[in-house]
Chain A
Amino acid sequence: MGVSRRDLLKTTVTGAALHAAGVTQAAVNKLIPYVTPPEKIEPGEWVTYATTCRECPAGCGMHVLCRDGRALKAEGNPNHPVNMGGLCPRGQSSVQGLYHPDRLKKPYNNRSKQFQSWDEALRDISLLINSRKGNIYILSDLQTSTQREVNKSFLKVAGAPQSNLLVYEPFDYPYLRKGYMTLLGESIIPYVDLSKADLIISIYADFLESWISNVQFARQFMEAKADFNRACKSIYLGPRLSMTAANCDEFFTLMPGSEIGFVCGVTRGLLQRNRIKSDDHVNELISGNWGTADNKAVSRTIELIMKSKSPVFLVGPNGAAGSYSDNLGIATTVMNNAIGAMGKVIEPTRRYALSDVGERSTFEEVISQVRADDVVLICNCNIAYVRPVAFTQLRKAGTIVYAGVMHNETSQLADYSLPLDHFLETWGDYEPYNGLISIIQPVMQRLYDSRNFSEILTELMAQSSKQAPPNDWPKKIEKSWGGSQEVLKMGFVEVPVDKGQLNTHPKTAKFNFAKAQNKAGKLHFYAYGSVLLFDGRVANRPWLQENPEPLSSAVWSSFAEINPKTAAKLGFDAEHEIEITSGTAKMRCGVLISENVAEDVVAVRYGEAQGANAFAVTENHNDEWFFPSITIKQTAHKSSGVLLQATMDQYNSEAIRWARISELKSGQTKGEDVTLPLPAGYKPGRDLYKPHEHRNHRWAMVTDINRCIGCQACAIACYAENNIAVMGKEALRKGREMAWIKVVPYKEQGGSRIAFLPMFCQHCDAAPCEPVCPVFAAVHNEEGLNAQIYNRCIGTRYCSNNCPYKVRRFNWFNTQWAKPLEMQLNPEVTVRSRGVMEKCTFCIQRIRQVEHRARRENRSIRDGEVQPACVQSCPTRALIFGDLLDANSEVTKLTLRDARRYHVLEELNTKPAVTYLKRVINDM
């Protein structure tokens, strides 16, 4: 290997020596990477590195668990200010991105159709840059701090204007920037602290899924909501009942085109009731003819704001652009200012990194100037996918160099594709918002012959100019956070920021769109950013595709969600694909006829594969609404989509139960009688057998359904931790998913409320699966776990049949992991062969680790010390794990005393160890 193990050690553990540029590295692809392990890396010991998640612009802190020099599991950094320990499914899946088979592995010259060495490739490219007659551009995804500086200095050295640095993010919220530009004179996206709100009014903003910083919002939202004394209210207005909408207390459908009218109506109402003061902005807002909105939604919103002390408006949707959304952005910003959210819930002095994304108009303008003698360097931005038409314009450039991690649409169409380091392999820094510097550090040796983008640019600079700055990008990175070991361990540093002056009312809000159009009867295209696929950059990750979309339960497939009435009107059925056309752009997908979508709306998830790419449609803006108008027709093509769940109806199973805050507070709601998975749960007369004792521990879980937002992070964490096989579309169609956790949406019986039921093995004390096993493969262990002994299992599948929760999974085939995905496998968990049953173990390997550690340190296990992967990942702390034999543990307290406690299918007397806490209806 070119880089010695010692080097790896230095770079990763001590942080003193950084990767030197241009060192060739061999891939770490042996079964056991070390014969003689380097010092400090003990074989079989876990090493944790703090780094920063770069799967979206939010910049959550990440802990990556590594073993034997391989990154195996990504977790949230519990101290990181953005996410405080939780991590969303996309962040959880980053290790799968690292080991993805589709990674770029070598520089590739698309003109000569040849792989090149880095020296050749960089020589070629620098030759092209130096001999170019035209301009040079860098098109990058959102980068801050050092990378941004290097980008800029490259343009400087290359003699190009700084405006040639284009930063493009598909979800860039131009309407928010427009709003703050109008209100404050600054094009920013300010920090929102939802924990300070007592009323959240979300207009199309899926803040728990994909809007700006979803893990942060999920955490803060729950902080505000789960405190019954504060009882933060939330209301969602939008065309589709999204996961976020399902978590809000109330949901209203707005007629497309009446959104600004809605804000206007609320403003008028609040003015009448003297809740807000009139100022120039407000006057400008209400003077417009914005049309009317649903009176019920308006009056209810007014009513709630009147009761609220710190309300806030959040506005979406993701990926919207154009003047209609700009106007809505301005209107809500004006409202936020008027109702006093500014400075309270919204902190304009802290700006999200997204504030640095270029204006769309600038982007369009710059790319329209691109000519044949220009050179474009693209960094990690899959522009050909998110802006297919813009890319054809960009493609006029003589040379396009794509530097990225993955093979994608852009890499295929570029002249050169250069493999970039995955963010888990390299150094960097990222500022999620000003004042928070989050460190990116390599957690393992490079898998392939890839490089950091700074490294590439520095090399190109050195080749093109004598005055090139020294190759000191690693130094710069180190400087940005001070280079201290403590900081490196923490993974971030908070620096004081210049608060500046909050400059309100620099000028009057201007709405450049005077005439409102009510769009009743027309079809509206609505694209939404899913918590799983986001803008599609992670769409090729098997875990995310295998996992059902929180509400629609779609896997491996794209659907257009259409209201049954609309479907009937159009004469659509669920069998055939539809074709959506907007201008010249076309997309095809299956139809999901669902009550969760408003009439006349066609809702599509971003991030689907080519052909079903929603970006192709949204690119074609026409300023009438958030998204362009479309025409739609059903094709003769059979739809191949797969939905895992046929119904959200509970059919009186009472799997999810609801309780009212008022009754909880007044003590009217008493905890239900639950049969404990302890000796106390055995009663003569009901049980034929005597109770049994547990040794030392009785592990148990409490699942707070009120806190569960349905984001699926736990499910992905479970895939990552437990080597769960990905089966693929056809297997899932046949009901052969392997997920140990399913987060199931259910509707309130007779109502419309939706909540999520995380369903995993209940580790019942009287487990129905156990006695039916003929060979004792399913047994109760001494600590109360329902254990599955894989090498004893002969595959009768009786246990699964007899499990009322159906949480057991059978291995129908031997699983193949596409290379090098097998490198992610957790060595502490058996990879199951065909023919055996498997299921949730409460992450027994983690329990054992903690038990060993405690024994070594001669102490007892602390409450909360054992964290199964799902518990660790949960952004909202909905899962609590602990020991029921410990009288002071949190699970014991909740299980014994919480007024919301209940067991799913309690009447079967399985004595489950998972106690659920009811969803709360906020009636305060």
Chain B
Amino acid sequence: MRGAVEQLTLKKINNDVLEPMREPGALYWIFLLVTAGLAGWGALNWTYQVRVGMGVAGVNHPVGWGSYIANFVFWVGIAHSGTLISAILLLVRARWRTSVSRSAEAMTIFAIATAGMFPLIHLGRLWVFYYILPYPSQRQLWPNFQSPLVWDVVAIGTYFTVSLIFFYVGLLPDLAAARDRFEERLGAGNIRTRFYKNLALGWCGNSLQWHHHGRAYLYFATLATPLVVSVHSVVSWDFAVSLLPGWHVTLYAPYFVAGAIHSGLAMVLVLLIPMRKLLHLENLIQPVHFEALALTMLVTTGIMGYSYIAEPFTDWYSNGVFDKQFSVWRAAGPLAWIYWLLIPLNVLAPLSFAFKKVRTNTFWLFAMAMMVITGMWLERLMIVIGATWHDFLPHNWGAYWPTIVEVNIFLGALGFFLFCFMAFSRLFPTIAIADLKSETAGESSRNIIHSILQSPVKSSTGVLAIFSRPEELLASIARLNESIFNNFDYFSPIRLAQAEKLTGRHFSPVRFWTLAGVLLGAASGFALAIWSAKVNSLIVGGKHPVSIIPYCIIAFEGAVLVGSIFNLIGLIIHTRLKFSEMPRYYDGRFSSDRFGLFVGCTREQLKAAEKFLQSGNPEETHVYRT
């Protein structure tokens, strides 16, 4: 896989990825307008529903949850692939992820924003939605932390925040690249330059930033990994903690998570296959990446298949009257068409990825991924409406059919999602440039040299050398050990672990920030839930007002949320990121394809320093005097 990528140069990567950020064409605007129009149309329908009442949707008695909740579960599922690819695959060092991770992360954020709207759309009284938030109200009434819906709020909120931070932290070096490119082309005063300059927080790719950034990113991944698994588990508990046959299923957490990743990966394929063509990213996103996605989907396909068998099996094995009845009804009742369609759509279609011919053919990949997405949406719908449609007492059996308002809102949400994704594809680098460059550049030197050098520089008097290859930079840094210069800093468009070792950086205090955040978050989660339960002192469901078991979820989400926020704070503090404040010897090319080594020295040493650096075969050297 790496072979193909390695033919690229850093410059080419930089240009290829940043090229689509130019002024888009008419077709793009039309698409953007159409998707924005769809989103607006959905919003109008939502307004209508809020004014008239939930009755304009198809939900009824007994089917209290309809397509809105199905959409919610579906979109949360879609949101799973991004963080999975970025976090889990980072931890397991699946290197192919680099080409698709950025888009997947962006997709995650938009999908979760879309998903997050649906519970609101679904609310009978949208105007008091904030009752569900834990805020100190005049009435001293707090939300019920035993309710799965509050878990949802907390989980979705955490997931959105963490995904956003994760996305942003990963984006920092690429924002700097965009900033420098726009500065070069449009000048420093241009609004787009300023936009990226502000967003990049003064990222200059120096040793300190790369060092802490690498650490922080890893901790993020560590926090995000259980979060990915937890989010859809929590969503599944919306159903599993109920007592309805068809919902009350212990299998639901893994089943939902697998399904989420299943649909999420399919959505990545569906979005990337056309995007690759439209943005001319064929060099960067290659068939091998799709193949890897398809192979990953084979794993989730297996879990889905297993779940489809396990569900009726447990119903039969439980020997419960209602479970068995429900199982039979699901397979033979009015929803049978969905039930049986799920197998070809969600299992057989992706199973074809076992064949190399299928998984290397983008058309088939796209078609199969579309089938999976459709299948997963239908599955969510069936799960949501099935159990209430046909529960315990026959006189309560009902039916459900979505209304035109629901269809419109569904389309609106789709429009919103696509609008966001299209806007993203032009506004931000769609591929993680720095990561891709790291893979391309590689690191030639494997020698570990313990360093006693100090960086960054304390003075701004010194000499800057610009190298075109990282090996040259590393060699020069290595030689610094034997020189009189021990005050230096380097700039790099990629993270150079070797350089970090040379500069003696092993330890990053960001880890303490993260740990402190995790502990504080968990403790606050428990504290908030327990304390507010004591304030409320209300009995629900025959439980004690303080019920520790459900509060574990709140504590977990708190740990991840506060841990991530602390991680970010630690990163910002330790890398001394500031808005738009750059070292004066920074060169815009450092975010693209050049490496810089700045050696700080006294005025008297300038000549010697210049001489020392020139011996390392740099492209250019610049002397800075204060």
Contacts and interface: CB of A to CB of B under 8 A. Distances in A.
A50 B150 CA distance: 52
A776 B549 contact: no
Contacts of A794: 123-125, 128-129, 131-132
B64 A800 contact: yes
A775 B147 CA distance: 8
Given A651-B325, A735-B61, A772-B147, A645 B395 contact: yes
A802 B241 CA distance: 9
Interface in A621-656: 644-647, 649-653, 655
Contact of A802 (B131, B143, B244, B544): B244
A766 B397 contact: no
Interface stretch (B161-169, B386-394, B559-567): B386-394
Contacts of B146: 771
Interface in B360-413: 387-388, 391-399
Contact of A771 (B61, B244, B322, B543): B543
Given A735-B60, A793-B125, A794-B128, A834 B53 contact: yes
Contacts of B538: 776, 779-780
Contacts of B397: 646-647
B124 A795 contact: yes
Q: Quick one: which of A795, A800, A802, A836 has the most chain B CB within 10 A?
A: A802
A360 interface: no
Nearest to A739: B61
Contacts of A682: 542
B64 A797 contact: yes
Contacts of B541: 766-768, 770-771, 780
Q: Quick one: which of B144, B325, B397 has the most chain A CB within 10 A?
A: B144
Given A771-B540, A794-B128, A744 B55 contact: no
Interface in A798-840: 798, 800-802, 804-806, 809-814, 833-837
Query: From DSSP, what is the main secondary structure of chain A's interface residues?
Result: loop
Contacts of A798: 64-65, 147-149, 238, 242
A863 interface: no
Interface in A49-79: none
A773 interface: yes
A810 B393 contact: no
Contacts of B393: 653, 655, 744, 759, 804-806, 904-905
B242 A768 contact: yes
Contacts of B128: 794
A806 B238 CA distance: 18
B392 A905 contact: yes
A911 interface: yes
Contacts of A655: 393
A355 B147 CA distance: 64
B292 interface: no
A836 B124 contact: yes
A603 interface: no
A897 interface: no
B504 interface: no
A810 B61 contact: yes
B173 to A, nearest CB: 40
Interface in B144-203: 144, 146-150, 153
A796 to B, nearest CB: 6
B64 A734 contact: no
Nearest to B239: A801
A877 interface: no
B539 interface: yes
B254 interface: no
Contacts of A688: 543, 549
Interface string B210-243: 0000000000000000000000000000100111
B262 interface: no
A529 B58 CA distance: 35
Interface residues of B, number: 60
Contacts of A646: 394, 397
Interface string A400-415: 0000000000000000
A736 B123 CA distance: 17
Interface string A777-793: 01110000000000011
A161 interface: no
Interface string B50-66: 00111100111111110
Contact of A774 (B54, B62, B149): B149
A737 interface: yes
A772 B242 contact: yes
B243 A810 contact: no
Nearest to A837: B124
Interface in A731-778: 731, 734-737, 742, 744, 746, 757, 759, 764-768, 770-776, 778
B288 interface: no
A778 B538 CA distance: 10
B7 interface: no
Q: Quick one: which of B119, B243, B398 has the most chain A CB within 10 A?
A: B243
Contacts of B539: 692, 770, 779-780
Contact of B53 (A687, A800, A814): A814
Contact of A835 (B124, B388, B392, B542): B124
A35 to B, nearest CB: 33
A682 B539 CA distance: 14
Contacts of A744: 393, 395
A690 interface: yes
B220 to A, nearest CB: 29
B141 interface: yes
A908 interface: yes
Nearest to B66: A797
A737 B129 contact: no
B132 A775 contact: yes
A274 to B, nearest CB: 49
A647 B394 contact: yes
B62 A742 contact: no
Given A646-B397, A735-B399, A797 B243 contact: no
Contacts of B153: 774
A653 B53 contact: no
B242 A653 contact: no
Given A806-B61, A809-B61, A811-B53, A835 B131 contact: no
B132 A797 contact: no
Given A653-B392, A779-B539, A810 B52 contact: no
B148 A776 contact: no
Interface in B521-558: 536, 538-544, 547, 549
Q: Quick one: which of A746, A776, A836 has the most chain B CB within 10 A?
A: A776
A811 B124 contact: yes
Interface string A722-734: 0000000001001
A829 to B, nearest CB: 19
B239 to A, nearest CB: 9
A721 to B, nearest CB: 21
B542 A797 contact: no
Contact of B59 (A692, A778, A797, A805): A797
Contact of A731 (B55, B65, B321): B55
A512 B124 CA distance: 67
A806 B242 contact: no
Contacts of B547: 689
Nearest to B392: A804
B22 to A, nearest CB: 46
A780 B539 CA distance: 6
B122 interface: yes
Contacts of B150: 774
Contacts of A742: 395
A349 to B, nearest CB: 46
A779 B543 CA distance: 11
5 contacts: A645-B395, A692-B542, A744-B395, A757-B395, A801-B388
Given A813-B55, A904-B393, 18 more contacts: A653-B392, A687-B542, A688-B543, A689-B542, A736-B61, A737-B61, A746-B395, A766-B541, A774-B131, A779-B539, A780-B541, A793-B124, A796-B149, A797-B64, A797-B122, A802-B242, A812-B53, A814-B53
